Amino acid sequence: MNYSELIQLLDHASAFDLFRLRAALNNMIEDPRRLQQVKNSLRLGMSVKYYEPSENCIHEAIVEQIKQTRVIVRNIQDNRRWDISLSAINIHDADITIQQTNKKGLTKNEVKVGDIVGFIDRTGRERSGRVEKLNQKTVSLKTEHGNWRVDFGLLHKVIDLDIETTFLTESTDTANREVNLIQFSGESD
């Protein structure tokens, strides 16, 4: 399913249209036939991928218990147990990417926790950082210069940037400059 095309089709829908559609989608999500299809594909100890809406990303987990409409999984990344809806499990390995066009910046659908994004701060300096949290209108970023909250519309994707290496390199360069300055001042005595 192409989520980007669906979002584009719904871009001009009214709030009421979207509200009504959400009710219909909830009924479809809770359809016992769909949930049974997911349950039939699951086995205890099985590795699965599930969608986490608050982070807008897929997580890998191991199935520990299957209930009527939910499943207990152990997240592979943090080793914590989560009670999630059967409908959150990506049994068909669907691509969850949503790309919207004809806009400025990024949208909440295009950003996930852990992404590296950039923005121009109030002084005109380009900054980049790792997404720590998705808020209602902003994203919380961790950059080399501290934490920032930035509106989605001001963000752009950063490609091929290893943020930890950048932080480490800048710290090392600063430390080397300080050492060189100290050595230089010591030689002048």
Q: Which residue has the higher pLDDT, 63 or 163?
A: 63
Q: Verify that 36 and 83 share a domain, yes or no.
A: yes
Write out the two tokens for 1: 């399913």
The per-residue pLDDT for range 128-179, each reduced to its tens digit, is: 999 999 999 999 999 988 999 999 989 988 886 454 444 434 433 433 333 3
Domain-ending residue, one of 59, 88, 117 = 88
Structural domain span for residue 161: 108-179
Which two tokens mark 128?
């980049």
Instruction: Compute the CA torsion angle 140, 142, 144, 150 (nearest 10 deg).
Output: -10
Q: Tens digit of pLDDT for each residue in 77-92? A: 999 999 999 999 999 9
Sheet holding 138-143, edge to edge: 146-151, 138-143, 126-134, 116-120, 156-157
The answer on 16 and 73 residing in a single domain is yes
Q: Scanning the structure block, which residue is given the tokens 């900054």?
A: 127
DSSP 87: G
CATH number at residue 146: 2.30.30.100
